[in-house]
Amino acid sequence: MIHLRQYKKPRTRKSLIALMGVILILVLFIASESTSSFFSRLLTSFAGPFWEAPALLFQGTEESMRAQELEQEITTLRMRSLSRDLLVEENRQLKALLGREDTIPTTLLSVVLVKPTQTPYDTLIIDTGSDDKVKEGDRVLFGSDVVIGKVEKVYRSTSLVRLFSSPGEEIGVLVGERGLSATAYGRGGGNFIMEIPRGIEIKEGDVVFLPSLVIQILGVVSVVEKHPGSSFQKILFRSPVMMQHLRWVEVLIN
């Protein structure tokens, strides 16, 4: 006997109502504050590592850049030290040729009473004067080999020192290992400027010093400016001494 499968009508109305109910419950469930918090926490825990990755990468790049800057500073200091050592050796050889190898300069330790921040025009007042055999024109040093100025006025127990970096000051200098002659001009605050022909190589870190039988460093080249169309290059250099922090100096007694 053949049984025919009975055709059942779809429960369209009841199914639709049930489906709408389920959708409504899901909407209410998702919209609830607790559920939103749950999904927010879930999303944060999942995406957190991806958000933190760029920050960690940036931090690593920044540390790497700082390390490179420190390495560059160390290299610059080494170059300056090398330049100074070469100057010292050249100075020793020169004095040997002139038969003055044993020449020892006489210096007088002096306390700085008034600093450039307290006086106009880059000047100092020191606690030694004519009673200590200080004379006008005597050069003033810091650390025995860095020259910073000269005695301008002498009193019995004090002296006025004008810094070579004072605006308007002009002084002959030698630059670099080859000792190129040039004229430097003070710009104030331990800063100087000079112009030399464009074809002569001057680089940052070159030492600028005064012509003398003893080492007298005036400054170190910090900026070399070359402008198209100009036959000269501007050289900016500054003293290695922080003038506003000076506590003592040495007067080179002639």
Q: What digits encode the pLDDT tens for the residues 201-230?
A: 899 999 999 987 777 899 999 999 988 888
Band the pLDDT of 26: cuts 50, 70, 90.
low
Q: How many CB atoms lie within 10 A of CB 123?
A: 18
What is the pLDDT, as a whole number, of residue 8?
Answer: 47
Task: Please determine, for residue 106, whether its predicted confidence score (pLDDT) is greater than 50.
Answer: yes
The arithmetic mean of pLDDT across residues 122-136, rounded, is: 95
Q: Which of 233, 167, 245, 249 lies closest to 199, judged by CA?
A: 233
What is the pLDDT, as a whole number, of residue 30?
Answer: 52
Band the pLDDT of 86: cuts 50, 70, 90.
low
What is the pLDDT, as a whole number, of residue 213?
Answer: 73
CA atoms 44, 46, 47, 52: torsion sign:
positive
Q: Is 232 left (phi over 0), alpha (psi -120 to 50) or beta?
A: beta
CA distances from 139 to 53, 73, 142, 218 (A): 60, 31, 10, 12
The arithmetic mean of pLDDT across residues 48-70, rounded, is: 60
What is the pLDDT, as a whole number, of residue 100?
Answer: 55
Q: Quick check: 155 and 130 in contact, CB under 8 A?
A: yes
**88: its two tokens:** 């010292």
What is the reported pTM? 0.61
The larger pLDDT score, comparing residue 33 to residue 49, is at 49
What is the pLDDT, as a whole number, of residue 2?
Answer: 43
Average pLDDT, the chain: 76
Task: Please determine, for residue 130, whether its predicted confidence score (pLDDT) is greater than 80.
Answer: yes
CA distances from 6 to 2, 9, 32 (A): 12, 10, 45
d(CA 215, CA 92): 9
Q: Which of 219, 227, 201 lies closest to 147, judged by CA?
A: 219
What is the pLDDT, as a whole number, of residue 35?
Answer: 47
Strand-strand pairing, 170-175 and 191-197: unpaired
Q: Quick check: 160 and 125 in contact, CB under 8 A?
A: yes
